[in-house]
């Protein structure tokens, strides 16, 4: 078997998070600095309004040979952080949150018998 160089740059975190962002009817993988693709940076960039309308976030780890759609998990984490700090979700993330965070379940009350 012949040797081939790794596609993963040395010294970079193993799991990379990439964001699909939409501008009108055009969606693209957003360009990112190689050291700005970790989870905390992506969450920080989302919360500070760096993305327009992100429908999808994907995590992949080339070393471990996996990839996952992490959109709902990241949306849930943003909601958790906003709830914990008693802050509102930023206005630019409201549509994103409505699409990816399941609403809290409301229990039906039994009214009489």
pLDDT digits (tens, 9 = 90+) for 18-48: 999 998 889 999 988 888 899 999 999 999 9
Cα–Cα distances (Å) from 66 to 14, 15, 75, 94, in that order, read 11, 9, 21, 30
Could you please report the per-residue DSSP string of 61-78?
Answer: ETTTTEEEE-HHHHHHHH
* 107 in a structural domain: no
Q: Tell me how far apart the alpha carbons of residues 33 and 105 are, in angstroms, rounded to a whole number.
A: 39
Domain count, the chain: 1
* 5 in a structural domain: no
Q: Tell me how far apart the alpha carbons of residues 49 and 53 are, in angstroms, rounded to a whole number.
A: 10
* 66 in a structural domain: yes
Q: In which domain, by residue range, is 59 found?
A: 15-99
* 113 in a structural domain: no
CB proximity list for 32: less than 8 A, separation 6 or greater: 18, 19
* 77 in a structural domain: yes
* 28 in a structural domain: yes
pTM over 0.95: no
**Span 45-103, pLDDT tens digits:** 999 999 988 999 999 998 888 999 999 999 999 999 999 999 999 999 999 999 998 76
């Amino acid at each position: 078997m012949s040797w081939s160089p790794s596609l993963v740059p040395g010294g970079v975190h193993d799991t990379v998070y990439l964001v699909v962002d939409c501008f009108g009817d055009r969606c693209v993988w957003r360009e990112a600095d190689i050291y700005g693709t970790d989870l905390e940076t992506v969450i920080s960039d989302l919360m500070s309004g760096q993305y327009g309308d992100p429908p999808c976030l994907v995590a992949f780890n080339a070393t471990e040979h996996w990839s996952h759609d992490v959109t709902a998990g990241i949306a849930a984490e943003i909601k958790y952080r906003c709830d914990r700090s008693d802050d509102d979700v930023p206005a630019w993330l409201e549509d994103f949150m409505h699409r990816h965070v399941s609403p809290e379940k409301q229990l039906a009350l039994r009214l009489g018998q």
